[in-house]
Structure 1
Amino acid sequence: MSLERQVTRATPPTLLIHTQADESVPVENSILFYQALVRAKVPAEMYLFEHGEHGMAMRPGLGTASTWPRRAEEWLHGRGLLDPA
Structure 2
Amino acid sequence: MATPEMQDAMVRTMSSPEMQDQMVEMMKQPEMQNTMIEIMNDPEMQNTMIGVMKRPEMQDAMVEIMQTPEMKKLIKTVLNED
| TM-score of the superposed pair, with normalisation by structure 1 | 0.32
| TM-score of the superposed pair, with normalisation by structure 2 | 0.32
The structure whose RCO (Cα within 8 Å, separation 6+) is larger is 2
Query: Which has the greater radius of gyration?
Result: 1
Higher helix share: 2
Higher strand share: 1
